[in-house]
Amino acid sequence: MKVRRKKRGWKRLWWEIRYWLASVALRGLVQLIRFIPFRLTFSAIEGIGRRIAWRFAGKYKKKMLDNLTSTYHNSLTDEEKERIAQESFRTMLTGFIETFYCVHFYDKKFDPIIVLEGRENLEQALALGKGALAVSAHLGTFTLLGAKLNASGFHLTWIMGGQPHPRLAQVWSKMGERVGTGFIILDSLFRFHREVLRVLRKGEIMGFICDENQKHGGVEVEFLGRVMALPVGPAVYHLKTGAPILPMFILRQKDGGHKVIIAPPLEIQLSGDEERDIFTIVTEIARVMESYIKKYPGQWSWISKRRIRTRTRRKTFLEGGETPLS
């Protein structure tokens, strides 16, 4: 994980102006969405996604199809890849709008159509008194997961990383707080570590999105047909605190509803070698994410960059790759 460096001079000024305008626009959209009819918006998004937006997706369409090819190779036809990419694109559009409506209308519009499966797994894990580490992916409208858990009597805190400016991070954080989801903004590694431990000591849930390549600090594992450096946070905090790791995903249903699935805690045989154990845990998380993504490929964000330069000092125990990257 890396804290973004501060810009200087005119670049700093332009950066501040640009993201001030972006944060104002985002806050305005949050307020405006209250006055737009719910059904009208989703009907329009469905039409735009099917007929207009996909035609102009351009480089995003190419990136999604390239990622699908890297994962499935020739096991899918071009037509099947196109269908999955279109479904994924519509899922992202719909999920974006659902996130905004959720801020104002979660209790009335969303909670009745979201089913919680595996509650007993979470209750048993939290009963150990060490908190829980939730691992998830950009699958379905994952932003609704924390809201459903809060409505069910649990509290989830996400890590807010990868935001281009603190102003945007604050807007997203306040949106989450409206539905009972906490956020830890990654502005200081010391503060980040302290806040994660605080959440676990309170016996709450610390959530990690684990399906993105890390430029710094990840560990290399095989994921969806490629070698990627996935985040080590869940592994590190599991070894440090003993908090159980539970896969959690939210999936869109055919009737328009959603299902939150909380799987049993991962059972991992540890060796006592910290680096090897981190690799083992991250690999197991990758396998679980793969199983859900391949079962519901149209609900995953194939638009993600998955082949970028990575720098990490952590060992990988992949065949022929036991030395850290430079």
**CATH number for the domain harbouring residue 117:** 3.40.1130
Q: Is residue 91 part of a domain?
A: yes
Give this prediction's pTM. Answer: 0.87
* Helical H segments across the chain, by residue range: 9-32, 38-47, 59-72, 78-105, 119-126, 144-151, 166-178, 189-201, 233-241, 274-295
Per-residue CA distances from 181 to 90, 174, 204, 206, 265 (Å): 25, 9, 11, 11, 22
Q: Is residue 228 part of a domain?
A: yes
| Inter-residue contact 157 to 183 (CB < 8 Å) | yes
Looking at the predicted structure, is the pLDDT value of residue 110 above 50?
yes
In the chain, helix, strand, coil percent, each to 5? 55, 15, 30
Q: Is residue 198 part of a domain?
A: yes
What average pLDDT does range 208-224 have in this prediction?
Answer: 88
Mean pLDDT of the chain: 86
Looking at the predicted structure, is the pLDDT value of residue 244 above 80?
yes
Looking at the predicted structure, is the pLDDT value of residue 1 above 50?
no
What average pLDDT does range 201-224 have in this prediction?
Answer: 90
Domain containing 143: what range? 9-299
Residue 115: per-residue pLDDT: 96
Residue 315: per-residue pLDDT: 75
**Total Cβ atoms within 10 A of residue 38:** 15
Tell me the percentage of the chain whose pLDDT exceeds 70.
88
Higher per-residue confidence, 161 vs 137: 137
Residue 320: per-residue pLDDT: 56
Q: Is residue 4 part of a domain?
A: no
Looking at the predicted structure, is the pLDDT value of residue 191 above 90?
no
Q: Is residue 149 part of a domain?
A: yes
Q: Is residue 319 part of a domain?
A: no
Number of domains, the chain: 1
Looking at the predicted structure, is the pLDDT value of residue 225 above 90?
no
Q: Is residue 324 part of a domain?
A: no
What average pLDDT does range 53-76 have in this prediction?
Answer: 86
- Among candidate residues 110, 85, 98, 114, the one with its CA nearest the CA of residue 253: 114
| Inter-residue contact 147 to 310 (CB < 8 Å) | no
Q: Is residue 158 part of a domain?
A: yes
Lowest mean pLDDT segment, chosen from 92-101, 171-180, 254-263, 281-290: 171-180
